[in-house]
Amino acid sequence: SYDLTEDDFITNGDREAFNILRCMGPLIPFLYSNIIKPKLQRATSRFIRNHASTTERLTRLNVDCAEILALEYLPKVYVTDLGQKNAFTFGDDSEALIVLDNGLQESLSDGELRALLGHEMGHIKIRHLVYHVAAEVLEHGLAFASHLTNIGILYLPVRPILLAWHRESELSADRASLIVAGDITHVEAMFSKMLGKASSGKFDTTVNSVIEIFNSHPHYLTRLNALKNFLKSPEYNTINMKLHRKRLLRPAFVGFCRFCGSSKNFEDVFCPSCGRALA
């Protein structure tokens, strides 16, 4: 197969910790579906309606990045003035929403923006989102904390496991960032620009809470060192070979020959009219 799977780039630490979390039963998915998701949806819907938009460049790169990672669905992507150079993603296994700060996305080159989108889509690809959002809520304990405290979630044994996995999951998403960007210098530049001084934009407390919970990551030097090691790994070479095969085969999956323009079946790898190889 030439499509990437989560096993191509998930870290061992991420996989092991994530499997432990999944084996703990339905508690976290239940909390996400019944407490966290409704509050996030209400706040974010108003946020997008009043403040967010999209751009032609962002739409184009969104499709390109999703295709590289072979996502099962295309996430919605918006830009707005977050008041800080940041991006966040929330959703579940069937839908996701990515929000980027407008000033940040304007400062990023296409390669750097691919790196940023690739990171967020890495979480989507590995199905991190439900547990990831829960971890960030627990870590920051903002407007949601009173609801979670009432049922004791802040003190459950799962909490340290969830938060430790949260940091490891970022390293897997960084690998997706590198895969999509295709050049570690784009990832480094993206990190550098995101670490710039935040602006002073302000929104109401609910929206600020939504922004704040998506603002915790491992130190960027740790992340870059991990990426440099991944770049030299056999796993990264395998990924590049998969993507190369996909680029070669893509022209075959259209309804016409790219050489003579004649109609053909989607499954044809040779043009029935001119005989040229299409893959």
* 150 and 226 share one domain: yes
pLDDT for 118: 98
How many domains in the chain?
2
Residue 62 lies in a domain: yes
Are 123 and 246 in the same domain? no
- Is the pLDDT assigned to residue 263 strictly greater than 60? yes
Spatial neighbors of 236 by CB under 8 A, at least 6 apart, are: 178, 230
CA distance 181 to 119: 10
Average pLDDT of every residue of the chain: 82
The token pair that represents 92 in the structure block: 């579940």
Identify residue 259 by its one-letter amino acid code: F
Report which of residues 107 and 272 the model is more confident about: 107
Q: Please compute the mean of the pLDDT values over residues 28-50 and round it to a whole number.
A: 80
Which among 171, 120, 129, 234 has a CA at the least distance from the CA of 16?
A: 171
Judge if 214 and 270 occupy the same domain. Answer: no
pLDDT of residue 93: 86
Q: Is position 220 within any domain?
A: yes
Please give the residue range of the domain that contains residue 243: 234-279
> Which pLDDT tens digit goes with each residue over 167-186?
889 999 999 999 999 999 99
Could you tell me if 98 and 224 lie in one domain?
Answer: yes
N-to-C CA span, the chain: 14
User: Within this chain, do residues 173 and 268 fall inside the same structural domain, yes or no?
Assistant: no
The torsion angles phi and psi of 90, rounded to 5 degrees, stand at: -140, 160
Question: By the 8 A CB rule, do 53 and 79 touch?
Answer: yes
Residue 151 pLDDT grade (very low, low, confident, very high; cuts 50, 70, 90): very low
Residue given tokens 């839908």 in the structure block: 95
Q: Can you give the pLDDT at residue 224?
A: 92
Confidence (pLDDT) at 105: 93
Task: Flag whether 124 is in a domain.
Answer: yes
Both 219 and 263 in one domain: the answer is no
Chain centroid to Cα 223, Å, comes to: 15
Confidence label for 253 from pLDDT (cuts 50, 70 and 90): low
Q: Residue 263: left if φ>0, alpha if ψ -120 to 50, beta else—which one?
A: beta
Do the domain assignments include residue 13? yes
Based on the domain organization, do 90 and 126 belong to the same domain?
A: yes
Give pLDDT, residue 122. Answer: 98
Strands 96-101 and 87-91: what pairing? Answer: antiparallel
Question: What's the rounded mean pLDDT across residues 197-209?
Answer: 45
Q: Residues 74, 207: one domain? A: yes
Please indicate whether residue 221 or residue 126 has the higher confidence score (pLDDT).
126
Domain co-membership, 116 together with 79: yes
Q: With a cut of 90, say whether residue 22 has pLDDT above it.
A: no
Greatest mean pLDDT range, 68-72, 109-113, 193-197, 243-247: 109-113
Over residues 175-200, mean pLDDT: 85
Does 33 fall in a domain? yes
Long-range Cβ pairs for the range 207-210 (8 Å, 24+): 207/43, 207/46, 207/47, 207/51, 208/83, 209/43, 209/142, 209/143, 209/144, 210/40, 210/43, 210/44, 210/47, 210/88
Pairing of strands 76-80, 96-101: parallel
The reported pTM is: 0.79
Query: pLDDT tens digits, residue range 93-124?
Result: 888 999 999 999 999 999 999 999 999 999 99
* Domain shared by 40 and 146, yes or no: yes
Give me the pLDDT at residue 279, please. Answer: 54
Section 46-54 average pLDDT: 80
Tell me, yes or no, whether 1 lies in a domain. no
Question: Cβ of 238: how many Cβ atoms within 10 Å?
Answer: 13
Residues 247 and 110 placed together within one structural domain of the fold:
no
Q: Nearest-5° angle of CA 2, CA 187, CA 203?
A: 110
Residues 174 and 243 in one domain: no
